Structure 1
Amino acid sequence: MSTETAPPLPPYQGIRLADVRLVRNADDASAALAALLAADAIGFDTESKPTFLKGETSSGPHLIQLATDDTAYLFQIGAAPALDVLKAILESTTTLKVGFGLSDDVKRLRHKLGIAPAQVLDLSVALRGGQRNDLGAKSAVAKFFGLHLQKSKKISTTNWATPRLSEKQILYAADDAQVALRVYRRWIADGGKVAPARRKTASAHEAAARTAD
């Protein structure tokens, strides 16, 4: 039996810092709104300050990441979040929001901010192709691009509620949103299809799950 191991995959090159926008004021929010609603699909994710104590409930989300093909927009949920803009984007029924493992993100948005995201496609479910287990971002990047997506646990468990995000946090969060959109684009280019909803209340997540099963 051969004991040779497969060579490591080349690293995935994520978004550049210059292509990330921190939404800090009304002008930033207006620009983000226009760019994101003009897109047919956007990458979507959230980050929450981690909990470490048993029984402790998360107070997140503390950061919402939305990405077009060339730019990522980070919305910090601090003292004055752009809730009207976020609501308009996330509840839009014409712009598809794609991401990985979105069920908790959607629940937290409803509970904390009163935002009910529409047209959400969870790629973890849509891409599993009839398999029992969901497909994560790392596996999807390896499958579709032949590249290794580095996911730092050290960064993922940092304080996302801090008013001043580090460059590493910014890039990590922006990549989470944009990599989902890149995978989605590749999946569609390879023949993947999002099934139309059978009823008005069906989400894109449900429709894709039916297609995959």
Structure 2
Amino acid sequence: MNTTRATPGKDEIALLPEFPRLGLDRIALVDSAVSAREAVAALRDQADWGFDTESKPTFVQGEVSDGPHILQLATLERAWVFLLHDTASRDLGAQLLADAGHTKAGFGLGDDTKRIRAKLGVEPAGVIELNHLFRARGYRKDMGVKGAVAVLFGQRFIKSKKAATSNWANPRLTESQLIYAANDAWAAAVVHRALKDRPAEPISAKP
């Protein structure tokens, strides 16, 4: 028997029913001292957060991104999208990231954490790379949020290519940007909880 499990492919995932997403009524934009303090108070009530960032894409060879421009943190019920051009949002967001008392789970966080160190001057604490948890369960490739949702829930996570490559440095985000950013962090929180609730199945070694 194989010692690894296959990650579902793009064609397999395309056949699955759609994974539900957070609507705008459960997404908070953090762009001021008041909204930042409200976000901190709400997030600190929960031990585990979903975590992601967004940076303005670069299209010219040699161009260096000055991101992240957006920080997303989420619980199982809500998500907060911090606009990092706002001083209070940036400072309180950085404090949350450095707080070792709360876990921050996400996918492909290596680049995110490197940029956070450079821009925000803090070392993210309590970070959980969900790809590592899936690898420990026998999945040979990086899972990503789409693969994780397919494996755990048998559903298809929708990601807008247009939103993904949009300008995250804009001082005002569109509704589609807010929904895209918030749901990346929220899905990570949901996946992390599912992994905690489901014991890893043993993997049989090759005979």
Settle same-fold status: TM greater than 0.5: yes
Alpha-carbon separation, structure 2, partners of 1:26 and 1:87: 13
* CA distance in structure 1 between the partners assigned to 2:74 and 2:87 by the alignment: 21
**1:159-181 deviations in whole A, cap 9, x for unaligned?**
00011111110000000000000
Structure number with higher relative contact order (C-alpha < 8 Å, ≥ 6 residues apart): 2
Query: Alignment length, in residue pairs?
Result: 188
- Matched residue, 1:83: 90
CA distance in structure 1 between the aligned counterparts of 2:168 and 2:64, rounded to whole angstroms: 15
Offset at residue 81 of structure 1 (A): 4.4
SS at match of 1:125: helix
Instruction: Map 1:58-207 onto structure 2 (within 5 A).
Output: 58-128=65-135, 129-191=137-199
Q: TM-score, normalised by structure 2?
A: 0.86
Q: Say which SS state the counterpart of residue 12 (structure 1) adopts.
A: coil
Q: For residues 5-29 of structure 1, what are the alpha-carbon distances to aligned partners after superposition, in whole Å with 9 as ceiling and x for unaligned?
A: 9681100111011000011222211
Kept in 2, the 8 Å contact 1:35–1:68? The answer is no
1:145-172 Cα shifts (integer Å, max 9, x gaps) = 1100112222100000011111110000
CA RMSD, Structure 1 to Structure 2 (Å): 1.6
SS of the residue 1:159 aligns to: coil
Aligned partners of 1:98 and 1:123 also within 8 Å? yes
Tell me which amino acid in the other structure corresponds to 1:154: K
CA contact (8 A) 2:50 2:106 kept: yes
Return structure 1 stretches of 4+ with deviation > 6 angstroms: none
Amino acid in the other structure paired with 1:27: V
Matched position secondary structure for 2:28? strand
- Secondary structure of 2:87 counterpart: coil
Identify which of 20, 33, 41 aligns with 1:13.
Answer: 20
CA distance in 1, matches of 2:168, 2:117: 19
| 1:207 paired residue number | none
Q: What SS does the aligned partner of 1:127 have?
A: helix
**TM-score, normalization by structure 1:** 0.84
Query: What percentage of aligned pairs have identical amino acids?
Result: 45
